């Protein structure tokens, strides 16, 4: 089979060397997917674009959660299963803040002279901040109690502990003395306004009146979500790239023993990472509950899983990867719900993950794999 | 003339027989009622699944979350076969699947020897070839099965119904196991080339995909009797303690013998240090697949048994949260310890569904899901190597190096995966 | 700790778990079991059911119990799904030695439980499981030990179809949870009846109960311009869908089934909707007025006001009464005789006069409740 060096390789050899069979298989799947997408687009361009927008809304929320997973994994190689439940706590905290304390209305009460959009915006930001702070505190506590003692233990023990913390948060939250087992209807911190975008301009949607054909509907929920997510991502990026703590985080993720030698307080940095990740999840909790106004103790399981998939897809440990992965997963979810069938959407998301991993074993932006199997 | 049997063997077999008889008598005399006997049988089934996972992860070092997906495949396959037999009196499903798994199994073995001669064939291309072969043979099996089906049904109907039911049951469970093993082979081939964490995630994806497919089994896959996400009912409840124990016993024996052999040493060497193993001539990919397939076979068998305990199956029992159960069990029991897994599975079943349900005052039943994770966290903090650590019953004990995962050099603090050479003082540990 | 000690300890722990298995003697009370979803997706259903049953049991006990013994209620949480319900049922029957069960609320749990009770000869009456398959097996034969206190889904689907057609609606979009026997049954029944009455079902979509994002489906609904959106699911899903529907420009009138009936139904999200139900609290029949007084005296809602019983409490009350009355009528605790007595009974319940047909289903009418202006108001009554 291995001919002399000067001879041209036979066709069979080329097929095997260049791995065409395997690549052909993946290519066939990719072509099928593209074909399906194109047909769907041509069948109804406006609906397609509407679904794409729906997907973006979902994707940004996933991105915030995914960042927590990716940052924690990058620094301690732990898949923090309790992250989705921190998200749930953030949602509940904001629920109590809005429903019981009316936190989103304080600017209107204290400063009645402000234009309404500004006071609503400040109110919403206050709620988000409260959730972020609570979740950061929660994560810090969890880290100190459950994860820190296991820093030098086998990784699987830390993983099982994370699973335990996740179960505990869920089921303790389900107890009547905590959040209760009910599905609580969430009160949005602002009034929902929908706009109809058509070729003739942007008009507010009136309830009870059907929108005309070939128009897109955007709600201010999506705007809030996208704007707040981008803001947080921008702040995070600035933090990680331009501040000393951020630099310390990057260094610890890169090489922990050397960072310690260079005088970085590795333990503290790890705690900060957990806290920041949790804060983002808390914000995501508020946004998710606003979009899908129902909070309950198990609400974090599935978004947590999808965000985790997104983080892996983008390359776990990579911050831009988390964003890209989350957007892909969000889009994949909505488009497959629209054009294949809703119950299949999880399968599609995971199939995408497995296929991408086969091509790029560490995710899209992941570091090149060091393991040679 | 009478060869001396080692004492450890006698103790083990004798002990096993004793355990079986004690529990069987307790069940037959109704000392243990239905509630408890169900829990014990579930414990046994979990033990089989967990042993399989222990082989894949504890002994072979591959972090797999896919065990539960194979469990589901085995369960639904076996359930469908027996359901069709008892309710529709047709053996076509049985025939199709029997012929199918045999054909595919043969093809895999044949292709492996063929492809092994080709150097440099990457895993993905090999997978493509196996996949195509499976598709072709699958279609062939459907036609053959439909042709042969009525004859097989007639043959079985000629036997007394009790015996034919047991025959169909045993065949169904075995077919479920082999099908799971074949799927695991196909899936594992490309996926085992991924690094250990990513392999875990890919297998998690597999479990979820299986669950989604089961949710849609009546709408998309056309198996109306499985009733998709509503849950399949009407499965004959014929898994007795005898069958569970027999399966468990065989699995333990097979695993023990596997681990005592050179195959076993090779499998463990993959866990210890892949690169060193390769340097010593161990075909790492081969043994990873071997462990994965055998572990999945066990999961499939366990699934088939499970389906016939309660007589109904629900896709939500196979969701990814429940997929952590075998992982939790083997870590609790002690990775790399078969005895630990056995103890932990039964304890887990008895504790979670049995004792905690009864011990907690009425109205606080749901607190058992709060106590359970707290216990879990506590045990991990206090004894991270698991309840039994690396202890093994003498019969099962292997002469192997201590589990690397629990030595200092693999912990988080000096993680070689940070991509830089491990500082010299760590490497010489 | 030495390893051997650990092993022995583990084995001892296992052995001690087996010990509680022995035990359980006779008693001087009649035990009635309750399978209700106290946790999981629909806990208000479970709590309402428990409250209704407790009032019934208390009433009987105040009058001296039945057959000279007090009634002891044993409650088990079945979480509205098959696995936990089966475990709970087994525990009630095997551990607590219960021979009469009120439950479950959800059809998807009642069906597997009905198989167990018929095998073990335990009388089961479900207050609210409406799926036809609860009382009959797949060959269409009635299960001797299983009964229900409510109407069945083929009738319920017909009710809403009649209502929708009566309002002049011609097009409908149906969405349902494909993993729930209740919703699947109702959706099928509605589609069949609506088509027979001249309407057209122009779209059908399925989802699973864990879904929160319905934007994809609702965009399709809006695009189809259907006049009716039939959503026969539980209130938690209705809340989510309702909130998102308005955002996506859906103008269809939302309609559903008795799963909507809950204090936790978001009246803003389901504004303008209608649902079929078992009874109307505004009914002027003396037995209903009496019932509201009794219930309001015993239970208060979150605001401290006397709680208005929903359909679940009412049906649970009727179901428990039926069961205990049957025990009295049979004159014995033998479950087979009680089942026979129950099959032949006629009882004046709050939700109507209840007699069972050959398939152990009561012959009852339904009401349609509308959600308007933040209140639930009576719209129409539809007889069988």
Inspect the interface and report whether the beta carbons of A47 and C219 lie closer than 8 Å: yes
At residue C374, the pLDDT reads: 65
Range in A154-158, A249-253, C170-174 with the lowest mean pLDDT: A154-158
Q: Are B157 and B89 in contact (CB under 8 A)?
A: yes
Under the banding of pLDDT at 50, 70 and 90, the label for residue B423 is: very low
Task: Give the tens place of pLDDT for each residue, C32-50.
Answer: 899 988 876 777 888 889 9
Q: How far apart (Å, rounded) are the C-alpha atoms in residues C74 and C93?
A: 11
Contacts with B, C 51-90, CB within 8 Å = 74-77, 81-83, 86-87, 90
Q: What is the largest CA-CA distance in chain C?
A: 80
- Domain membership flag for residue A290: yes
Inspect the interface and report whether the beta carbons of A22 and B410 lie closer than 8 Å: no
* Burial of B363: CB neighbours in 10 Å, binned 0-12, 13-18, 19+: exposed
Q: How far apart (Å, rounded) are the C-alpha atoms in residues C80 and C104?
A: 7
* Burial of B348: CB neighbours in 10 Å, binned 0-12, 13-18, 19+: buried
3-class secondary structure, C232:
coil
CB nearest to C207's CB, from A292, A333, A342: A342
Q: Are C164 and C229 in contact (CB under 8 A)?
A: no
* Burial of A3: CB neighbours in 10 Å, binned 0-12, 13-18, 19+: exposed
3-class secondary structure, A35:
helix
CB nearest to A257's CB, from B197, B220, B423: B423
Does the pLDDT of residue B414 top 70, yes or no?
no
Q: Are A287 and A330 in contact (CB under 8 A)?
A: no
Class of domain C29-151+297-364: alpha beta
CATH of domain C154-277: 3.40.50.2300
At residue C24, the pLDDT reads: 42
Non-local (6+) Cβ contacts of B365 within 8 A are B357, C76, C77
- Domain membership flag for residue A111: yes
Q: Does B260 touch chain C (CB under 8 A)?
A: no
Task: Give the tens place of pLDDT for each residue, A195-209.
Answer: 777 777 777 776 666
Q: Does A257 touch chain B (CB under 8 A)?
A: yes
Task: Give the tens place of pLDDT for each residue, A177-197.
Answer: 778 777 888 888 877 778 777
Does the pLDDT of residue A349 top 70, yes or no?
yes
Under the banding of pLDDT at 50, 70 and 90, the label for residue C27 is: low
Do A129 and A182 share a structural domain? Answer: yes
At residue C5, the pLDDT reads: 53
Do A306 and A160 share a structural domain? Answer: no
| Residue C136 DSSP one-character state | B
Interaxial angle between packed helices A20-43 and A319-339, expressed in degrees from 0 to 180 and rounded to the nearest 10: 60
At residue A188, the pLDDT reads: 83
More confident residue, B363 or C196: C196
Does the pLDDT of residue C17 top 70, yes or no?
no
Range in A198-202, C81-85, C285-289 with the lowest mean pLDDT: A198-202
Closest approach of B199 to chain A, Cα-based (Å)? 9
3-class secondary structure, A282:
helix
Inspect the interface and report whether the beta carbons of C94 and B339 lie closer than 8 Å: no
Closest approach of A283 to chain B, Cα-based (Å)? 25
- Domain membership flag for residue A373: no
Summarize the confidence of residues B327-343 as an average pLDDT. 87
Task: Give the tens place of pLDDT for each residue, B187-212.
Answer: 998 888 887 788 888 899 899 999 88
Does the pLDDT of residue C9 top 50, yes or no?
yes
CB nearest to B195's CB, from A255, A344, A371: A371
Task: Give the tens place of pLDDT for each residue, C153-197.
Answer: 888 888 888 888 888 888 999 999 888 888 888 899 999 999 998
Q: Which of C208, C324, C202, C307 is nearest to C263 (CA)?
A: C307
At residue A5, the pLDDT reads: 63
Does the pLDDT of residue B69 top 90, yes or no?
yes
- Domain boundaries, position A100: 64-188+245-299
Closest approach of C180 to chain A, Cα-based (Å)? 13
Task: Give the tens place of pLDDT for each residue, C295-345.
Answer: 888 888 767 778 888 888 888 998 888 888 888 888 888 888 888 888 888
Please list every residue in chain A whose beta carbon sits closer than 8 Å to the beta carbon of residue C178.
343
Summarize the confidence of residues A289-293 as an average pLDDT. 88
Do A165 and A118 share a structural domain? Answer: yes
Under the banding of pLDDT at 50, 70 and 90, the label for residue C69 is: confident
At residue B408, the pLDDT reads: 39
Does the pLDDT of residue B46 top 90, yes or no?
yes
Q: Which of the given ranges, A41-45, A321-325, A363-367, has the highest pLDDT on average?
A: A321-325
Q: Does A234 touch chain B (CB under 8 A)?
A: no
Does the pLDDT of residue A305 top 60, yes or no?
yes
DSSP assignment of C12-66: HHHHHHHGGGS-----SEEEEEEEE--SSS-HHHHHHHHHHHHHHHHHHHHTT-B
At residue A368, the pLDDT reads: 64
At residue B428, the pLDDT reads: 36
At residue A275, the pLDDT reads: 93
Does the pLDDT of residue C10 top 60, yes or no?
no
Q: Does C184 touch chain B (CB under 8 A)?
A: yes
- Domain membership flag for residue A196: no
Q: How far apart (Å, rounded) are the C-alpha atoms in residues B134 and A170?
A: 42
Q: Does B26 touch chain A (CB under 8 A)?
A: no
Range in A99-108, A168-177, B163-172 with the lowest mean pLDDT: A99-108
Q: In degrees rounded to 5, what are phi and psi of residue C372?
A: -145, 135
Contacts with B, A 282-301, CB within 8 Å = 301
DSSP assignment of B321-376: TTTHHHHHHHHHH-TT-HHHHHHHHHHHHIIIIIIHHHHSPTT-GGGHHHHHHHHH
Task: Give the tens place of pLDDT for each residue, C191-231.
Answer: 999 999 888 999 888 888 888 888 888 888 888 888 899 99
Under the banding of pLDDT at 50, 70 and 90, the label for residue B150 is: confident
- Domain membership flag for residue A26: no
How many other β-carbons are positioned within 10 Å of the β-carbon of residue B87?
14
CATH 3.40.50.2300 in chain C, residues?
Answer: 29-151+297-364, 154-277
DSSP H helical ranges for C248-378: 286-298, 311-330, 335-343
Q: Does A361 touch chain B (CB under 8 A)?
A: yes
Of A281, A299, A317, the residue that ends a domain is A299
Range in A40-44, A235-239, B362-366, B390-394 with the lowest mean pLDDT: B362-366
Q: What is the largest CA-CA distance in chain B?
A: 73
Chains that touch B (3 or more CB pairs under 8 A): A, C
**Measured CA distances, C360 to B169, C276, C324, C334 (Å):** 35, 21, 17, 19
Residue A95's Cα: distance from chain center in Å?
20
Please list every residue in chain C whose beta carbon sits closer than 8 Å to the beta carbon of residue A205.
249
Torsion of CA B276, B57, B372, A135, to 10 degrees: 60
Torsion of CA A122, A126, A127, A129, to 10 degrees: 130
Does the pLDDT of residue B317 top 50, yes or no?
yes
CB nearest to B415's CB, from A16, A77, A175: A77
Does the pLDDT of residue B362 top 80, yes or no?
no
Residue-averaged pLDDT of chain C:
82
Q: How far apart (Å, rounded) are the C-alpha atoms in residues B198 and B177?
A: 25
What percent of chain B shows pLDDT beyond 70?
88
Task: Give the tens place of pLDDT for each residue, B115-129.
Answer: 777 766 777 778 888
DSSP assignment of C352-383: EEEEB-TTS-B---EEEEEEETTEEEEEEEE-
Q: Are C19 and B350 in contact (CB under 8 A)?
A: no
Non-local (6+) Cβ contacts of C135 within 8 A are C114, C142, C143, C146, C147, C148, C359, C360, C361
| Residue A178 DSSP one-character state | T
**Measured CA distances, C322 to A79, B78, C308, C328 (Å):** 54, 41, 22, 10
Do A180 and A161 share a structural domain? Answer: yes
- Domain membership flag for residue A54: no
Do A79 and A115 share a structural domain? Answer: yes
Q: Does A79 touch chain B (CB under 8 A)?
A: yes
Q: Which of B216, B194, B322, B300 is nearest to A348 (CA)?
A: B216
More confident residue, A59 or C378: A59
Under the banding of pLDDT at 50, 70 and 90, the label for residue B412 is: very low
Q: Does B397 touch chain C (CB under 8 A)?
A: no
At residue A66, the pLDDT reads: 92
Number of domains in chain A: 2
Q: How far apart (Å, rounded) are the C-alpha atoms in residues C64 and C46?
A: 27
Under the banding of pLDDT at 50, 70 and 90, the label for residue A373 is: very low
What percent of chain C shows pLDDT beyond 70?
91
At residue C252, the pLDDT reads: 87
* pTM (2 d.p.): 0.85
At residue B398, the pLDDT reads: 66
Alpha-carbon torsion (B273, B278, B282, B285), positive or negative: positive
Closest approach of B228 to chain C, Cα-based (Å)? 7
Q: How far apart (Å, rounded) are the C-alpha atoms in residues C312 and C104?
A: 11
């Amino acid at each position: 089979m291995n001919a002399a060096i000067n001879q041209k390789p036979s066709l069979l050899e080329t097929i095997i060397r260049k791995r065409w069979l395997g690549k052909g298989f993946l290519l066939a799947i990719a072509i099928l997917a593209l074909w399906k997408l194109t047909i769907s687009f041509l069948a109804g361009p406006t609906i397609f674009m509407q679904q794409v927008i729906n997907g973006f809304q979902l994707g940004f929320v996933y991105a915030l959660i995914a960042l927590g997973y990716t940052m924690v994994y990058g620094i301690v190689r732990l898949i923090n299963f309790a992250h989705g439940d921190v998200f749930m706590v953030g949602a509940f905290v904001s629920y109590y803040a809005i429903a019981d304390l009316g936190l989103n209305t304080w600017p209107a009460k204290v400063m009645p002279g402000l234009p309404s959009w500004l006071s609503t915006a400040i109110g919403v930001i206050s709620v988000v901040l409260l959730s972020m702070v609570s979740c950061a505190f929660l994560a810090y506590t969890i880290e100190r109690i459950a994860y820190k003692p296991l820093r030098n233990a086998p990784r699987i023990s830390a993983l099982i502990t994370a699973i335990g913390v996740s179960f505990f948060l869920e089921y303790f939250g389900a107890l009547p003395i905590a959040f209760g087992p009910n599905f609580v209807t969430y009160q949005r911190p602002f009034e929902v306004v929908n706009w109809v975008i058509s070729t003739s301009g942007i008009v507010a949607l009136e309830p009870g009146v059907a929108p005309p054909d070939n128009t897109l509907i955007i709600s201010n929920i999506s705007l809030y979500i996208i704007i707040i997510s981008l803001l947080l991502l921008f702040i995070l990026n600035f933090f990680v790239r331009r501040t000393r703590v951020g630099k310390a985080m990057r260094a610890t993720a890169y090489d922990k023993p050397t960072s310690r030698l260079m005088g970085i307080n590795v333990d503290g940095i790890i705690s900060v990472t957990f806290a920041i990740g949790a804060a983002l999840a808390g914000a995501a909790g508020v946004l998710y509950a606003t979009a899908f106004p129902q909070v309950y103790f198990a609400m974090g399981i599935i978004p947590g899983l999808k965000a985790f998939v997104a983080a892996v897809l983008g390359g776990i440990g990579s911050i831009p990867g988390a964003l890209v992965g989350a957007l892909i997963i969000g889009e994949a979810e909505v488009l497959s719900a629209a054009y294949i069938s809703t119950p299949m959407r999880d399968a599609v998301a995971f199939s995408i993950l497995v296929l991408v991993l086969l091509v790029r074993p560490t995710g899209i932006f992941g570091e090149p794999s060091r393991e040679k199997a | 003339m009478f060869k001396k049997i080692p004492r450890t063997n006698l103790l083990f077999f004798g002990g096993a027989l004793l355990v079986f008889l004690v529990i069987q008598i307790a069940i037959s005399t109704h000392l243990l009622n239905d509630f408890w006997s169900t829990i014990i049988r579930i414990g046994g089934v979990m033990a089989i699944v967990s042993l399989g996972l222990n082989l894949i992860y504890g002994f072979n070092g591959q972090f797999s979350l896919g065990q539960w997906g194979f469990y589901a495949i085995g369960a639904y396959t076996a359930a469908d076969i027996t359901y069709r037999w008892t309710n529709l009196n047709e053996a076509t499903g049985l025939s199709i699947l029997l012929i199918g798994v045999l054909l595919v199994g043969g093809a895999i073995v044949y292709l492996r020897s063929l492809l092994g001669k080709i150097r440099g064939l990457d895993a993905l291309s090999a997978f493509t070839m196996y996949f195509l072969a499976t598709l072709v043979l699958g279609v062939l099996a459907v036609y053959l099965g439909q042709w042969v089906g009525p004859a097989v049904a007639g043959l079985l109907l000629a036997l007394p119904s009790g015996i034919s039911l047991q025959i169909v049951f045993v065949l169904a469970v075995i077919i479920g196991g082999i099908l799971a093993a074949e799927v695991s082979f196909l899936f594992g081939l490309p996926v085992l080339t991924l690094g250990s964490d990513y392999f875990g995630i890919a297998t998690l994806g597999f479990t979820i995909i299986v669950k989604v497919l089961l949710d849609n089994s009546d709408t998309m896959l056309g198996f109306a009797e499985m009733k998709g996400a509503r849950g399949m009912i009407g499965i004959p409840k014929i898994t007795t303690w005898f069958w569970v124990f027999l399966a468990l016993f065989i699995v333990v024996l097979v695993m023990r013998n596997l681990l005592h052999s050179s195959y076993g040493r090779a499998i463990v060497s993959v866990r210890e240090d892949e690169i060193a193993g390769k340097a010593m001539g161990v075909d790492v990919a081969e043994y990873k697949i071997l462990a994965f397939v055998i572990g999945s076979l066990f999961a499939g068998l366990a699934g088939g048994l499970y389906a016939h305990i309660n007589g109904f199956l629900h896709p939500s029992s196979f969701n990814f949260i429940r997929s952590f159960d075998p992982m939790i069990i083997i870590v609790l029991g002690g990775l790399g310890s078969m005895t630990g897994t056995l103890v932990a599975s039964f304890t887990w079943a008895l504790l979670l569904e049995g004792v905690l349900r009864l011990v907690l005052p009425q109205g606080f039943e749901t607190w058992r899901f709060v106590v359970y994770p707290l216990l879990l966290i506590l045990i991990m903090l206090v004894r991270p190597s698991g309840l039994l650590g690396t202890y093994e019953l003498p019969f099962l004990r292997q002469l192997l190096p201590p589990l690397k995962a629990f030595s200092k050099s693999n912990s988080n603090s000096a993680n070689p995966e940070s991509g830089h050479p491990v500082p010299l003082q760590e490497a010489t540990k | 700790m030495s390893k051997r000690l650990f092993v022995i300890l583990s084995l001892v722990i296992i052995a001690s778990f087996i010990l509680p298995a022995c035990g359980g003697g006779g008693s001087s009370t009649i035990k009635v079991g309750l399978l209700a979803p106290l946790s999981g997706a629909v806990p208000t259903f479970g709590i309402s059911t428990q409250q209704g049953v407790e009032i019934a049991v208390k009433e009987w006990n105040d009058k001296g119990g039945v057959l000279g013994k007090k009634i002891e209620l044993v409650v088990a949480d079945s979480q509205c799904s098959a696995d936990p319900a089966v475990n709970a049922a087994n525990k009630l029957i095997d551990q607590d030695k219960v021979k009469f069960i009120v439950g479950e609320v959800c059809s998807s749990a009642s069906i597997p439980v009905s198989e167990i009770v018929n095998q073990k000869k335990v009388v089961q009456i479900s207050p609210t499981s409406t799926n036809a398959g609860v009382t009959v097996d797949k060959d269409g034969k009635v299960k001797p030990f299983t009964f229900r206190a409510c109407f069945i889904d083929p009738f319920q689907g017909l009710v809403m179809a009649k209502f929708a057609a009566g309002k002049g609606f011609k097009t409908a979009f149906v969405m349902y949870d494909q993993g729930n026997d209740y919703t699947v049954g109702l959706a099928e029944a509605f589609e069949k009846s609506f088509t027979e009455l001249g309407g057209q079902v122009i779209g059908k979509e399925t989802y699973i109960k864990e879904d929160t994002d319905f934007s994809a489906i609702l965009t399709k609904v809006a695009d189809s311009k259907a006049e009716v959106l039939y959503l026969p699911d539980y209130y938690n899903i209705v809340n989510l869908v309702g909130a998102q529907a308005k955002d996506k420009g859906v103008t269809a009138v939302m309609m559903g089934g008795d799963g909507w009936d809950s204090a936790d139904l978001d009246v803003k999200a389901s504004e303008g909707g209608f649902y079929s139900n078992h009874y109307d609290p505004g009914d002027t029949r003396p037995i209903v007025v009496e019932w509201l007084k009794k219930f309001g005296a015993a239970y208060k809602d979150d605001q401290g006001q006397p709680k208005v019983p929903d359909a679940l409490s009412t049906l649970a009350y009727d179901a428990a009464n039926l069961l205990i009355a049957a025990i009295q009528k049979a004159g014995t605790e033998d479950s087979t005789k009680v089942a026979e007595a129950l099959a032949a009974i006629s009882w004046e319940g709050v939700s109507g006069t209840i007699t069972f047909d050959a398939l152990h289903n009561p012959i009852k009418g339904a009401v349609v409740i509308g959600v308007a202006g933040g209140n639930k108001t009576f719209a129409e009554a539809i007889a069988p």
